[in-house]
Structure 1
């Protein structure tokens, strides 16, 4: 078995793809004609977004819609970056909610933001 991608359900795929480009420099590598599905090039595993109606149609009662203004769901995305402080500032300037400013955690610098669709994003230093 191989882990292929993560899909996050959102209100507007195009808006979220643009945010992830502005905030984290991740480029879109695909967007459906109807705008209901899009993918980001992360270099490894795909990070994809689809609209809430797609999820509601597929999962029926097994789907709970995330709400950006409510507490975050129980997962995070972790992005490795060379300069956590610069990446944190760039994400906040693009509209991310600042949660935890850059701080040294053991061998790494780490910070947290919440993206516009409500996902927790950890920024971790990599060399």
Structure 2
């Protein structure tokens, strides 16, 4: 088994791709002509986006979409960087919602949290040594 991708269900795939490009410096890999699915290059795996309506069609029992007006869900997307304060400011300038400014943890790692346009939790942190 290999980890292949993570899909975030969003309201507007093209807008989310553009946000992640601007906020985190990622590169677009693919946007389907329908606009309902897209991917970003993130290394060995992809970070993918699918429209909320696609999730509803795949999950007939329903699901709870993210929303900035509610508490974050119980998952996060994590990005490592050597300069968390700069990454945090870049994300905010691109429209991210501030949650926790950069802070050095007791184990030495610098960590900050933001939310994306749809309310998904994003961690920005220095690599673990």
CA RMSD after TM alignment: 1.2
- CA drift of 1:60 comes to 1.1
- Note the C-alpha offset of 1:21: 0.5
Query: How many residue pairs end up in the alignment?
Result: 127
SS of the aligned residue for 2:9 comes to strand
Q: Normalising by structure 1, report the TM-score.
A: 0.95
- Tell me what 1:21 maps to: 21
- Counterpart CA distance in 2 for 1:64 and 1:84 is 30
Q: For residues 65 and 109 of structure 1, what CA distance do their matches in structure 2 show?
A: 29
Q: TM-score, normalised by structure 2?
A: 0.93
- CA deviations 1:12-64 (Å, max 9, x no partner) are 00000000001000111001001000001011221000001111111112422
The whole-number CA distance in structure 1 between the counterparts of 2:15 and 2:112 is: 23
Which blocks of at least 5 consecutive residues in structure 1 are unaligned? none
Unaligned runs of 5+ in 2: none
Aligned to 1:69: 69
Please list every run of at least 4 consecutive aligned residues from structure 1 whose deviation after the TM superposition is greater than 4 angstroms.
Answer: none
